Structure 1
């Protein structure tokens, strides 16, 4: 990330900081689902406090939850609430912030965040890690909340071997880019709106030569490739590599692409779904886009979770309901739905998911489609793992993972829970 990008990110985070927190469990807004149901969430920042330090308050298990939709820097994830909503399979996304810590570069920060995720599960028995579909199935059968480690942003990948290091550290899904262009690929422009886009936008392109090599290495290792935040050309070029290899893609969190370039266009959504991929609906309220009148219903309230329902229904119509599931982006510093519409309390935290799911059912999405989302994610993981090259996996699994930046002196490898 450039100095300009780092400054912009820091300014936006500080400008939207919330400071209040509830220390009471979320109220039950709907009857719990059956215990055998496994719904999935494609994008949750379970350990955001590890990334943002004193800016972020609380983590799951501490009884600290955002008290309103406006509290962006307060934990939004609660284990009991996830169980009531049936969400038991999660891509637990770590976000390596700009590499500003002494002695730790972008790759070192990503490895550190993956280690922090493992540390979180060791001190919080409500959650367990799984590093593949088979392991996830076993732990789900035991009734556990299962986290699949994911990394948002490939800024730390400066050579193909770095993909192996991330795999050895536990990553099983990698988002190629985040808000800014990086050594792998071009990010979508205007993700903060056109007014800020002039400061943040970079090149107009797709994959770099290194990016193409990294994508092929991810396929060899059975790593799920997430094209959220990527430019259209980047997505097209990843599809051109992954499609012939029979590997489906993930777009982990989006809203319907009516006006904002951050969001996924219908043609690309259809291509991802046609290849067996999945599209996650992010629960972010964008000030840069509005649901068009043709997508609204009587009593529709903009700025509420009605927007999120409309996004979900839009993609379900365009690509089929089976390709669309939750990609909440909870515990990210985003605007979320305010109270009103189908969600009287707004979307404050995972305790409000049953209300959202009930609204989706009320608008025609079947209970089976919602309840089956975990199985669809497991099948996706199995397909990607099945395309891996068995000859490269043993060496990648045994690779020592340094504690700090790759270019500094290596110290004792991190403990790995694999």
Structure 2
């Protein structure tokens, strides 16, 4: 879920408010040869129905699809539409809502949702789950849409062993922090204020001592580190650990922060790109991301997907074309681009991606950059996995959840 539109969860309800000296990223030879062209999305909530039950309606492939950009809490992901748009690889993100499951810990909710994602992929004729770059490469040949499991928010991580449990459950990317500071790191400031249950809003701090251990353990396990939602200081401290090792990171979904917002800053975008990392462009409307006049073109229409195109071009200039790709945040509860501008129907769902991609090409984004984005994700995964220690992975796979009832029968 994005932080550049104000989304507030109140109990069970949901209210919408609108370096110098870098070591190059590891050069890893491809284990599976060349890939056919394919596009990627760094951030999609494939199984959001579980995270927001009973409010969210539909799931990918189930026939229910949002019919307007402002339609929230309705499925926005259609597998055939992804294929038509050329999207072949998705980081399938589970979001364990904080304190929304009485009787279940945040860690338990994340493990539960990862298990449900596995079940969804087994049931679906359209999707296949891949627990790493090797599996993903092999799955391309099947013609199915490849899902790499990811977790948004480290709220469930209270000890470094919890990272092992998430890895054993399938997670291959973890966002360290979400809307609020947690035991791992500080979140970006002003995501929506200290409104929920006394939780602390994002601050100016960085990684906690546990967070330093968590980042190191993620590198040992070959888990992709996602610094979306993190404070600038958190990102700086993460990069201080990953850059010397040549391990790339991602910022899975963002928009340009021209108005000094909590989005990825230009200097940090350059460091992410210089380290071989990736930046995903989120598709959402937000009053905090108004595109300045000097970034607009003749006929530019604010509030339409012209905004999304402008954000993409901004980060391309800052971090380089190889670093930038889609990070849609589809199936989150934000409002998307209204009809008009470069996308006549707005951004209702994945069926509107071809219009966005066409608009990007019209504004100078090379088709080869779009078509090669899945291969770039796989290269990043391979670079991260190359740093992993097999012994650490073996230990993680052998861990079991603590002796507590993470999935009590009285939880709906």
TM over 0.5: yes
- After superposition, the C-alpha distances for 1:141-166 in whole angstroms (9 at most, x for unaligned) are 22110000000000000000000000
Unaligned runs of 5+ in 1: 1-6, 18-34, 412-418
Q: Which residue of 2 aligns with 1:174?
A: 174
C-alpha separation between the residues in 2 aligned to 1:46 and 1:355? 21
Aligned 8 A contact 1:128 1:146 in 2: yes
Aligned to 2:391: 391
SS of equivalent to 1:117? helix
The residue that corresponds to 2:77 in the other structure is 77
Per-residue deviation, 1:100? 3.3
SS in 2 for 1:245: coil
- Secondary structure at the aligned position of 2:390 is classed as coil
Distance change (3 Å), C-alpha of 1:351 and 1:185: same
Q: How does 1:227-246 map to 2 (within 5 A)?
A: 227-246=227-246
1:4-56: CA deviations, max 9, x gaps? xxx95227953349xxxxxxxxxxxxxxxxx9431000000000000000110
Aligned to 1:30: none
Q: List alignment gaps of at least 5 residues for structure 2.
A: 1-6, 18-34, 408-412
Aligned position for 2:320: 320
Match for residue 381 of structure 2? Answer: 381
| Distance apart, 1:192 and its partner CA | 3.5
User: Which range moves more in the overlay, 133-142 or 202-211?
Assistant: 202-211
Is the 8 Å Cα contact of residues 260 and 289 (structure 1) preserved in structure 2? Answer: no
Aligned equivalents of 1:395 and 1:50: distance in 2? 30
- Please say if 1:286 is aligned against 2:286: yes
Question: Cα offset for 1:99?
Answer: 2.9
CA distance in 1, matches of 2:15, 2:203: 27
Measured in 2, the distance between the counterparts of 1:71 and 1:410 equals: 33
CA drift at 1:319 = 1.3
User: For residue 157 of structure 2, what is the aligned residue in structure 1?
Assistant: 157
Tell me the residue number matched to 1:415.
none
Q: Which residue of 2 aligns with 1:220?
A: 220
Contact 2:188 2:202 in 1 (8 A): no
Of structures 1 and 2, the one with the larger relative CO (CA 8 A, separation 6+) is 2
Q: Is the 8 A contact 1:193 1:288 kept in 2?
A: no
Closer, same or farther: CA 195–398 of 1 in aligned 2, 3 Å:
closer
2:46 equivalent in structure 1 = 46
SS in 2 for 1:392: helix
Query: Is the contact between residue 70 and residue 335 of structure 1 (CA under 8 Å) also seen in structure 2?
Result: yes
CA drift of 1:195 comes to: 11
| 8 A Cα contact 1:188 1:261, kept in partner | no
2:368 matched residue in structure 1: 368
In 1, Cα distance between equivalents of 2:159 and 2:345: 46
Q: Is the 1:190–1:260 Cα contact (8 Å) retained in structure 2?
A: no
Task: Tell which deviates more after alignment, 287-296 or 346-355.
Answer: 287-296
The residue that corresponds to 2:68 in the other structure is 68
> Cα 1:335–1:275, aligned 2, differ >3 Å: closer, same or farther?
same
Partner Cα separation in structure 1 for residue 40 and residue 263 of structure 2: 21
Structure 1 residue aligned with 2:339: 339
Aligned counterparts of 2:288 and 2:13: Cα–Cα separation in 1: 18
Summarize the alignment of residues 259-270 of structure 1 with structure 2, pairs less than 5 Å apart: 259-270=259-270
Counterpart Cα distance in 1 of 2:260 and 2:252: 16
The 5 Å alignment of 1:73-112 reads: 73-112=73-112
Q: Deviations over 1:231-259 (max 9, x none)?
A: 00000000000111110000000001112
For 1:89 and 1:149, the matched residues in 2 are separated by 11
Instruction: Give SS of 1:351's match.
Output: helix
**Could you tell me whether the CA contact under 8 Å between 1:191 and 1:260 is conserved in 2?**
no
Instruction: Within 5 Å, give how 1:345-364 maps onto structure 2.
Output: 345-364=345-364
- Judge conservation of contact 2:12–2:100 (CA < 8 Å) in 1: no
Match of 1:273? 273
Would the alpha carbon gap of residues 194 and 300 (structure 1) be closer, same or farther in structure 2, given more than 3 Å must change?
farther
Determine if contact 1:280/1:326 at 8 Å carries over to the other structure: yes
Q: Partner residue of 1:204?
A: 204
How far did 1:334 drift? Answer: 0.8
Distance of aligned partners of 1:288 and 1:194 in 2 relative to their CA distance in 1, 3 Å threshold: farther
Are 1:408 and 2:404 matched, yes or no? Answer: yes
Partner SS for 1:14: strand
Superposed structure 1 runs of 4+ greater than 6 Å apart: 193-196
1:105, CA displacement in angstroms?
0.6
Q: Which structure carries more helix by proportion?
A: 1
